[in-house]
């Protein structure tokens, strides 16, 4: 997959794609449906399959001090899109210039002159241009005027309700990772580089691989059953585990993170990239009377996690 970040400097081989447009936070089933429509169009027209998205997320750009809301980081989104067969990722810099374009200017300068897209696929709730003034019907009209195809995809719902990034965030906030996975079409994952912590887990007999969650929507704090994929280094592979999400109140106030104990594993993975999938929520964070009580609870948590993983 090729990643293009500047619509004003695009090689000829990267022009002409059939592309889905949106933020694609989480790459949930609704996003995948839009991408599938673009895929079918790309196959028919024998053009590359593309996705146009924006970085930073426009919500971050306009409200930089708001609470973290993203379901996945930039790299995790790219990994997921690549797994879906996307050939061109137009990850455009969302800045003063781009945000100031009117809907007409966006269509002309970005879609036509910049990327030369042959066809675009958008959701029916899609907005674009300065002040979100452009709607899906406007994109259809602009496509007719400027010579690119447009498909408007209906919103997706399941038996519970609309599939959306907002609904997924609510499920994670409530500690319902299986409901989030139902809407995502895959386990919700937290990806990043393993960082050094206080190494208390090692002293307790439970060494952990720690990831920051600083820029992500925080799932409910507590203990989870997890699957850990080690993505780089000599220990690449998939492992079961149990993880603690939160601030470690047993040891004072700390920045939120996720600490994963990987079952049947003893390698050094500091600095490696890992992906932690949330499978099931076990219990909230607690403060115990002492380390012996904490270790006993960790023993119980891991035994439960192994039982659950055996049935997944």
For the record, the structure tokens of 33 come out as: 């449906």
Q: Show pLDDT as tens, one digit a residue, over the chain (312 residues).
A: 999 999 999 999 999 999 999 999 999 999 999 999 999 999 999 999 999 999 999 999 999 889 999 999 999 999 999 999 999 999 999 999 999 999 999 999 999 999 999 999 999 999 999 999 999 999 999 999 999 999 999 988 776 678 899 999 999 999 999 999 999 999 999 999 999 877 666 777 899 999 999 999 999 999 999 999 999 999 999 999 999 999 877 666 678 999 999 999 999 999 999 999 999 999 999 988 888 999 999 999 999 999 999 998
- Does 259 participate in catalysis according to the annotation? yes
In this prediction the pTM is 0.90
Catalytic residue among 87, 91, 227, 259: 259
| Domain 188-311, CATH number (from 2.40.50.1070, 3.90.550.10, 2.40.30.30, 3.40.190.10) | 2.40.30.30
Residue 119 — φ and ψ, nearest 5°?
-155, 140
The domain locations on the chain are 2-153, 188-311
For the record, the structure tokens of 309 come out as: 């993983």
The fold of 2-153 is Rossmann fold (3.40.50)
């Amino acid at each position: 997959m090729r990643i293009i970040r500047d619509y004003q400097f695009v090689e000829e081989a990267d022009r002409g794609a059939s592309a889905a447009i949106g933020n694609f936070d989480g790459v949930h089933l609704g996003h995948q449906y839009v991408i599938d429509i673009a895929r079918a169009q790309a196959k028919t027209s024998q053009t590359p399959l593309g996705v146009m998205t924006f970085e930073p997320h426009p919500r971050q750009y306009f409200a930089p001090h708001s609470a973290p809301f993203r379901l996945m980081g930039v790299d995790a989104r790219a990994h997921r899109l690549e797994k879906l067969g996307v050939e061109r990722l137009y990850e455009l810099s969302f800045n003063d210039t781009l945000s100031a374009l009117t809907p007409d200017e966006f269509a002309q300068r970005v879609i036509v002159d910049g990327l030369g897209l042959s066809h675009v696929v958008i959701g029916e709730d899609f907005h674009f241009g300065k002040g979100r003034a452009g709607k899906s019907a406007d994109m259809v009209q602009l496509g007719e005027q400027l010579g690119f195809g447009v498909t408007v995809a209906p919103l997706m719902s399941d038996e519970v309700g609309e599939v959306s990034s907002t609904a997924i965030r609510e499920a994670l906030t409530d500690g319902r990772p299986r409901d989030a996975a139902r809407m995502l079409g895959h386990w919700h994952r937290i990806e990043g580089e393993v960082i050094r912590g206080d190494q208390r887990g090692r002293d307790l007999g439970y060494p952990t691989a720690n990831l920051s969650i600083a820029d992500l929507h925080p799932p409910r704090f507590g203990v989870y059953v997890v699957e850990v994929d080690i993505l780089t280094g000599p220990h690449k592979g998939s492992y079961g585990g149990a993880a603690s999400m939160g601030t470690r109140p047993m040891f004072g106030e700390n920045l939120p993170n996720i600490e994963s104990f990987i079952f049947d594993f003893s390698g050094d993975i500091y600095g490696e990239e890992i992906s932690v999938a949330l499978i099931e929520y076990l219990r909230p964070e607690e403060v115990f009377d002492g380390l012996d009580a904490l270790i006993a609870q960790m023993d119980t948590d891991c035994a439960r996690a192994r039982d659950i993983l055996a049935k997944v």
